[in-house]
């Protein structure tokens, strides 16, 4: 794909959009940046554009319809009317991941799922490093794919965590190894329906061939259903049953193709869901050339990813956990299941149009109090009424102090909000760091 002289509009100026703009400008494209928000509301984006010599114009249909190519940031829905008009005018509209895929050297491992994809991606990168297999890691986990192109090599794996937002605007992505860990209700406010969300996730398989590998969860009905959508070899993972040519849990042992490579008790990450993540990462690492011995060493030395069921401290016998990344009820359910003991749970933030009633049964009987924060606390309160005492806290710091004053030795105070952070924070990372700061400032060992 030749970019020199091409008129390209980059829509959406968060991290991925700015990376795409830089990538395009470096290759001679005539880049214009735009966003639905005014430039003064975009933080440091203006300074970055100035440094790159890229002009910013307010978003309007005429700007997009007159371009040769439009590159969309992941946070911009594909159904935006201005994008629909651009497509109708014959303008190609792609996402930042698709742009990177057209230039990236070396094989791609692409990982998605409603929950666990960040941990699995980070773990796979660690396993490959432990085994001495060349790889770089990025995507939704941190480094935008376009920023990885320059350092990509033919003899190096590109390990990418990909969200449904990123996948929705891909068409030619070729994943030598693709994994769909699980599927549960998520981002319905963005995709519009569960069917559209499932379709977006399935795009990770579109470019695969018979020489490739699809790693799917036999215990998750939607993940398993994707087997019919790929010509690739399918490798199953399961914590419930033996699977031919895959990885599974049996009698406390993790097995790959029938060969035990480590004991489940030696996995340092809590919860059944993390055993699933380890199984998926192990199968992908094996496909990429890692030995079983290196995989076991890598798993045992892996440290939990920040904001994913992250242990913070024990104070006066009370344990504190940060799972700010739990932005859906399904993710919160996994946190609850992974921890044993009476709970003080902090829920709330900005809802994604999801249903909170699945939390009722797991929280009943073991929850000291549900501490509600953020914009959609009222909706959660309505759906969890009578499950446990409901306390309207408003903010995370108020919730932490309330629980810390009342919790007893053996209790757990857990941030697993089941909502996004966008009502009070820039992202889940900022929310998690704030929670950790508040917890660490509590007096007492």
User: Catalytic site residues?
Assistant: 117, 140, 187
Q: How far apart are CA 167 and CA 191, in angstroms?
A: 12
Task: Please check whether residue 102 is in contact with residue 173, taking contact to mean a CB–CB distance below 8 angstroms.
Answer: no
Phi, psi of 379 (to 5 degrees): -65, -45
437 Cβ contact partners less than 8 Å away, ≥ 6 residues apart = none
Structure tokens at 31: 């880049």
Would you give the DSSP letter of residue 148?
Answer: G
DSSP state, residue 301: T
DSSP-derived secondary structure letter, 290 = -
The Cα–Cα gap between 39 and 342 comes to: 47
Angle at 211 between CA 210 and CA 215, to 5 degrees: 85
CB atoms within 10 A of CB 36: 13
CA distance 107 to 135: 10
Alpha carbon distance 429, 255 (integer Å): 34
CA distance 73 to 76: 6
Nearest by Cα to 109 from 151, 79, 139? 139
Separation CA 64–CA 315 (nearest Å): 55
Cα 200 to Cα 183: distance, rounded to the nearest angstrom: 11
Compute the distance between CA of residue 173 and CA of residue 439 in angstroms, rounded to an integer: 42
Contact 304, 269 (CB under 8 A): yes
């Amino acid at each position: 794909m030749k970019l020199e002289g091409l008129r390209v509009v980059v829509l959406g100026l968060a991290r991925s959009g700015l990376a795409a703009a830089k990538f395009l400008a470096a290759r001679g494209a005539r880049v214009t940046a735009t966003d639905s928000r005014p430039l003064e509301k975009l933080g440091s984006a203006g300074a970055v554009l100035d440094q790159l010599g890229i002009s910013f114009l307010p978003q309007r249909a005429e700007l997009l319809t007159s371009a040769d190519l439009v590159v969309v940031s992941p946070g911009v829905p594909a159904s935006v009317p201005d994008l629909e008009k651009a497509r109708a005018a014959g303008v190609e509209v792609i996402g930042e991941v698709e742009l990177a895929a057209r230039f990236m050297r070396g094989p791609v491992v692409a990982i998605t799922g409603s929950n666990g994809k960040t941990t699995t991606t980070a773990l796979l990168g660690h396993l490959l490093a432990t085994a001495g297999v060349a790889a770089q890691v990025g995507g939704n986990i941190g480094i935008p794919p376009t920023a990885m192109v320059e350092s990509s090599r033919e003899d190096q794996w590109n390990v990418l965590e990909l969200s449904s937002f990123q996948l929705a605007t891909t068409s030619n992505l070729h994943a030598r190894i693709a994994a769909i860990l699980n599927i549960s209700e998520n981002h319905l406010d963005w995709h519009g329906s569960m069917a559209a969300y499932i379709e977006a996730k399935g795009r990770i398989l579109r470019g695969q061939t018979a020489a490739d590998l699809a790693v799917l969860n036999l215990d998750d009905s939607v993940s398993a259903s994707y087997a019919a959508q790929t010509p690739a070899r399918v490798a199953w993972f399961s914590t419930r049953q033996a699977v031919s040519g895959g990885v599974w849990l049996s009698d406390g042992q993790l097995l790959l193709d029938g060969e035990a490579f480590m004991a489940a008790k030696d996995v340092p990450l809590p919860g059944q869901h993390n055993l699933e993540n380890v199984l998926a990462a192990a199968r992908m690492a094996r496909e990429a050339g890692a030995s079983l011995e290196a995989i076991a060493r890598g798993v045992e030395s892996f440290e939990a990813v920040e904001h994913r069921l992250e242990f913070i401290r024990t104070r006066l016998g009370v344990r504190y956990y940060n799972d700010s990344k739990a932005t859906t009820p399904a993710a919160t359910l996994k946190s609850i299941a992974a921890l044993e003991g009476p709970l003080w749970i902090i829920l709330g933030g900005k809802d994604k149009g999801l249903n909170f009633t699945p939390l009722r049964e797991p929280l009943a009987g073991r929850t000291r109090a549900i501490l509600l924060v953020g914009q959609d606390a009222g909706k959660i309160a309505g759906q969890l009424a009578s499950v446990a005492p409901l306390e309207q806290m408003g903010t995370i710091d108020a919730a932490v102090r309330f629980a810390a004053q009342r919790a007893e030795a053996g209790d757990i105070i857990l941030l697993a909000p089941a909502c996004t952070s966008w009502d009070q924070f820039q992202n889940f990372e900022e929310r998690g760091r704030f929670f950790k700061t508040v917890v660490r400032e509590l007096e007492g060992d």
